[in-house]
Amino acid sequence: MTTALPLVVAITGASGAPYSVRLLQALAAAGQPSWLIVSEHGFRLLQTESGVGDLKALRDRVGAAAWDATVRVFDDRDRGALPASGSVQTKGMVICPCSMGTVAAIAMGTSRSLVERAADVVLKERRKLVVVPRETPYSDIHLENMLRLTRAGAIVLPASPGFYHRPESIEELVDFVVGRILDHVGVKNEMPRWSDSDSA
């Protein structure tokens, strides 16, 4: 049985469901315990973009055995759940994808849901918070809110894939972003990286 601290993973309603599904697969494959929170709009996003209509379908996509060994699910409406407490130790939190509404709520400290409260806790406890926005273009409001989060200690990691590894599929583009997320939360991975040969 693993003794690793759990990583809180949240899925909100910004476009980018393939990133969240692949992230969960990679975390499960690495044996990283994950505390999963999916917002109401996050479920709608998963259905619309990935055909994942509920938690059972998401479990199947990740792999039942890996899911059962590493994933624990929390209801976004339960602001009294474990991720809402600062005294409960975690590895940090990733919100992927992260809607601009969620960015704004965290930046203002409103904590209206478990996703928002868990992010607030991670910031106040000086743990790692990685938010993965997938929005374009950014308005002045978006940029100000992301700056507020950065100044509070969060890492804003836009879902902006690189091309120096010459990707040939959507999956490779997704893996690039997921690899960057994994790097920032300290989970070993074999995702695409820059090398001298890439510039040849």
Neighbours of 112 (CB within 10 A): 11
**Residue 191: its pLDDT value, please?**
86
Residue 2 pLDDT > 60 = no
What does DSSP assign to residue 198? G
Mean pLDDT across the chain: 95
**Residue 199: its pLDDT value, please?**
55
Domains and CATH numbers, the chain: 7-189 (3.40.50.1950)
Residue 64 pLDDT > 60 = yes
Task: Provide DSSP, 24-74.
Answer: HHHHHHTT--EEEEE-HHHHHHHHHHH---SHHHHHHHH-HHHHHHHEEEE
**Residue 159: its pLDDT value, please?**
96
Tokens 């106040």 appear where?
A: 124
**Residue 1: its pLDDT value, please?**
44
**Residue 67: its pLDDT value, please?**
98
What pTM value is reported for the model? 0.94
**Residue 200: its pLDDT value, please?**
52
The token duo for 106 is: 């965290």
Closest CA to 132 of 158, 113, 155, 110: 158
**Exposed/middle/buried for residue 63 (C-beta within 10 Å: 0-12, 13-18, 19+):** middle
| Segment 84-134, tens digit of pLDDT | 999 999 999 999 999 999 999 999 999 999 999 999 999 999 999 999 999
Residue 195 pLDDT > 90 = no
